[in-house]
């Protein structure tokens, strides 16, 4: 991709790391702008890029108190809201995914009441 197309895909300029003011609606940071959802969709992201010979990608990891914020973002990324898909999908392909449940802590101990303990 040209430098301009790369910048537009994310919505940020690689050369100086500035967010683009006129980024296209398909730009990843426009699709996922957390405060732009009607119920703000905040997640904690801790992703890890990987490469193995010719293949490469991102293990995307997000934490949240429910699936809601993550699913709201994914819906907009795939264009379910307005038909505009995230420019990331021009050069990336979701391969697999998993959800895990992490019990919260209560009074210094794991709160396992959701499991009936």
User: For residue 48, what are the CA distances in angstroms to 14, 25, 45?
Assistant: 19, 25, 10
Question: By CB under 6 A, is residue 9 in contact with ligand HEM?
Answer: no
Interface pattern 25-64 for ligand HEM (x via CB under 6 A): ---xx--xxx--------x-x------------x-x----
Pick the binder of ligand HEM from 6, 10, 20, 79 (CB under 6 A): 10
Q: Are 28 and 11 in contact (CB under 8 A)?
A: yes
CA separation for the pair 39, 41 (Å, rounded):
6
User: Going by C-beta distance under 8 Å and a sequence separation of 6 or more, which residues neighbour residue 9?
Assistant: 1, 26, 27, 28, 87, 88, 90, 91
User: Going by C-beta distance under 8 Å and a sequence separation of 6 or more, which residues neighbour residue 116?
Assistant: none
Question: By CB under 6 A, is residue 112 in contact with ligand HEM?
Answer: no
- Closest C-alpha to 73, from 110, 24, 38, 112: 38
Question: By CB under 6 A, is residue 89 in contact with ligand HEM?
Answer: no
Pick the binder of ligand HEM from 8, 23, 26, 74 (CB under 6 A): 74
Distance in Å, CB of 13 to ligand HEM, minimum: 10
Q: Which is nearer to ligand HEM, 26 or 32 (CB)?
A: 32
Residues contributing to the site for ligand HEM (CB under 6 A): 10, 12, 28-29, 32-34, 43, 45, 58, 60, 70, 73-74, 77, 88, 92
């Amino acid at each position: 991709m040209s430098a301009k197309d790369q910048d537009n895909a994310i919505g940020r300029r690689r050369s100086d790391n500035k967010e683009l003011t006129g980024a296209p609606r398909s730009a990843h940071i426009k699709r996922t702008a957390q405060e732009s959802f009607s119920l703000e969709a905040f997640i904690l992201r801790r992703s890890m890029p990987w490469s193995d010979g010719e293949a490469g990608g991102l293990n995307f990891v997000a934490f949240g108190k429910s699936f809601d914020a993550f699913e709201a973002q994914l819906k907009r990324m795939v264009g379910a809201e307005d038909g505009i898909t995230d420019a990331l999908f021009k050069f990336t392909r979701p391969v697999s995914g998993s959800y895990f449940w992490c019990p919260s802590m209560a009074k210094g101990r794991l709160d396992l009441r959701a499991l009936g303990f």
